[in-house]
Amino acid sequence: MTSDAVLSDAVFRYVGLDVSPLPGRHPERIQSSEERAEVEGIIARLDAVEPDETADDLFDWAEREVDRLLATGPDLNAQAREALVSLLSFTWR
């Protein structure tokens, strides 16, 4: 299992906010197949989330959903969480 710090960096690179203001999906940016698999597992869980009646403000809703998604781990840093929030809210805008 990848450390939370390494996984946080991998999530951030996967979403691509270090190279673009718009979130995306860049699995090719993660060299380690183990890290890539863990990140893709998180992204798959994120993809299963759909807006409901509480999604009046997509960004606030996405923050709540990412917090809920990660409540049981992994313990990602703020930068990785921000990347996931950006990806989720961008997906549903």
Q: pLDDT tens, 21-70? A: 999 999 999 999 999 999 999 999 999 999 988 888 999 999 999 999 99
Give the burial string for 19-56 (b: 16+ CB within 10 Å, else e). eeeebeeeeebbeeeebbebbeebbeebeebeeeeebe
Residues 6+ apart with CB under 8 A from 35: 2, 6, 7, 10
pTM of the model: 0.93
**Identity at 49, one-letter amino acid code:** V
Task: Round the average pLDDT of the chain to a whole number and report it.
Answer: 94
Cβ(67)–Cβ(80) under 8 Å?
no
Q: pLDDT tens, 20-31? A: 999 999 999 999
Count of structural domains, the chain: 1
CA distances from 65 to 1, 34, 50, 77, 84 (A): 24, 25, 9, 16, 10
pLDDT beyond 70 at 11: yes
State the residue range of the domain holding 86: 4-91
